[in-house]
């Protein structure tokens, strides 16, 4: 796994094999950041990576100049790995939080310009992520939220839905405010 672009582009990430994750493929990640780069400037933005796993997307946000990046995951080893990697890369704009994502959404008082969520595909509450983010006003005006999800989940009827993209088995739904 690698960081695709920005200040830390081409740096390799070596997560332990025992992490309970399904990382976004490099092809899908590169496509996603090409889309985002055409929609926004990362400089000075606040980004949130929900169900962060290895931190792959959080590193991309940090590498591309986001002012503040928060990676949230419930798994202790995932959070420790993100903290270790961000320290090694001297990513002072990235912090990792060990929390249940739904509890974090309810309790945070921060607002974000970019939100990415990559929940486990078997999670039944995937549709709740979108609803909760907007109910709790986590997205800034002109902000973008992206949810990676299995093909069986359809967000097209959600109020803030803007588009859907598919890359192999990876589905991204985009939401804007």
| Residue 95 placed within a domain | yes
pTM of the entire predicted model:
0.94
Q: What is the pLDDT of residue 43?
A: 96
Please state the domain count of the chain: 1
| Residue 21 placed within a domain | no
Domain containing 61 equals 26-176
| Residue 18 placed within a domain | no
Q: What is the pLDDT of residue 1?
A: 86
| Residue 156 placed within a domain | yes
User: Residue 81's domain is classified under what CATH number?
Assistant: 3.40.50.150
Contact present, 138 and 113 (Cβ < 8 Å) = no
Q: What is the pLDDT of residue 20?
A: 78
19: tokens are 């992490």
**DSSP secondary structure of 20-78:** ---PPPHHHHHHHHHHHHHH---TT-EEEEET-TT-HHHHHHHHTT-SEEEEEES-HHH
10: exposed, middle or buried (C-beta count within 10 Å: 0-12, 13-18, 19+)? exposed
Beta-strand ranges (E) seen in 62-176 are: 68-73, 94-98, 112-117, 139-149, 161-167, 170-176
| Residue 9 placed within a domain | no
Distance between first and last Cα of the chain: 31
Q: What is the pLDDT of residue 22?
A: 77
- pLDDT per residue, tens digit, the chain (177 aa), is 889 999 999 999 988 888 878 777 778 888 999 999 999 999 999 999 999 999 999 999 999 999 999 999 999 999 999 999 999 999 999 999 999 999 999 999 999 999 999 999 889 999 999 999 999 999 999 999 999 999 999 999 999 999 999 988 889 999 998
Alpha carbon distance 42, 66 (integer Å): 5
| Residue 15 placed within a domain | no
């Amino acid at each position: 796994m690698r960081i695709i672009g920005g200040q830390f582009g081409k740096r390799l990430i070596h997560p332990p094999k025992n992490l309970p994750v399904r990382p976004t493929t490099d092809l899908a990640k590169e496509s996603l950041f090409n889309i985002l780069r055409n929609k926004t400037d990362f400089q000075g933005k606040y980004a949130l990576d929900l169900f962060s796993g290895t931190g792959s997307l959080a590193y991309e946000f940090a590498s591309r100049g986001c002012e503040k990046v928060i990676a949230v995951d419930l798994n202790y080893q995932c959070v420790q790995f993100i903290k270790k990697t961000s320290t090694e890369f001297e990513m002072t704009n990235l912090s990792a939080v060990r929390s249940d994502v739904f509890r974090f959404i309810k309790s945070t008082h921060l607002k974000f310009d970019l939100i990415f969520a990559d929940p486990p595909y078997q999670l039944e509450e995937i549709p709740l992520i979108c609803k909760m983010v907007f109910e709790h006003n986590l997205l800034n005006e002109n902000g973008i939220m992206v949810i990676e999800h299995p093909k069986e989940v359809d967000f097209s009827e959600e109020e803030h839905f803007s588009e859907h993209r598919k890359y192999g088995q990876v589905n991204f739904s985009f939401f804007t405010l």
